[in-house]
Structure 1
C-alpha cells in the first residue's frame, strides 16, 4: 500500500511539473496566449507543495522522483504530443523506474 501511495504521489507531482513547464512552452514556441502563464505558475506552485509531501529525506525523494518523472514525461510525449515511443524510450523508462524503486524501497540503515 505504501508503495502504491508513493508512486501515485510521484506521478501527480510529475504531472504538475510537466504542465507547469508545458504551458509556457506553448506560449513561447507555439504563439498561444500569455494567459497560459497563470495556470503554469499555479501548477508549478502545486508541484513544489506536492514534493514536500513525499515521505522521506529531500535528497532521496528528488533522486527517486526523477525516475518517475522520466516515465511520466515519456507518457506525455506519447499521449499529448503524439510522438511514438521507441523501444529505447521504453527501456530507458523502465531502467529509470527500477532506479526509483531501488532508491525508495531498499532497506534503510538506521
Structure 2
C-alpha cells in the first residue's frame, strides 16, 4: 500500500509541477514578456501534464478530483518559491484540510 501511495503522490506532484510551470510560461507570454517561445514551451509542458495524469491507477473523475487538492497545495508552494509570497495561516490551514480530503477520496479503502 505504501508503494502505491508514494507512486501516486509522486505522479500527482510531478503533474502539478508540469501544469503550474506550463501555465506560468503561458502567463509570462501573454501578460509579461510577449515572446512566443514562452507560449510554445508552456503549451508543450501543459500537454505533457495531461499525459502524466493517465499513469494514475484510478478512473478519470477520481484522479482529477484528487489532483485538484494536490494542485491547491502545489500552487501555494509555487507561490512561496517562485513568487516569494509567504502563505498565511489560512492558506496553510486550507491546504491541510484539502490534503485530508485528498487522502480520504483517493486512499481510503472501499
Superposition TM-score, scaled by structure 2 size:
0.93
Secondary structure class of the residue paired with 2:33: coil
- 8 A Cα contact 2:26 2:43, kept in partner: no
1:45 & 1:24 partners in 2: Cα distance? 12
- Give distance in 2, aligned partners of 1:27 and 1:58: 30
Q: Which residue of 2 aligns with 1:18?
A: 20
Aligned alpha-carbon RMSD (Å): 1.0
Q: Does 1:93 align with 2:109?
A: no
Greater than 2 Å deviation, 4+ residue runs: none
Query: Number of residue pairs matched?
Result: 108
Provide the C-alpha distance between the structure 2 equivalents of 1:46 and 1:83, rounded to a whole number of angstroms.
27
Normalising to structure 1: TM-score of the pair?
A: 0.93
Q: Distance in 1 between matches of 2:90 and 2:5?
A: 26
Aligned twin of 1:79: 81
Q: Which runs of 5+ in 1 are unaligned?
A: none
Contact persistence 2:8–2:56 (CA under 8 A): yes
For the residues of structure 2 that align with 1:57 and 1:24, how far apart are their CA atoms? 29
Q: Which residue pairs with 1:37 in the alignment? A: 39
Aligned to 2:30: 28
Matching residue within 96, 106, 109 for 1:107: 109
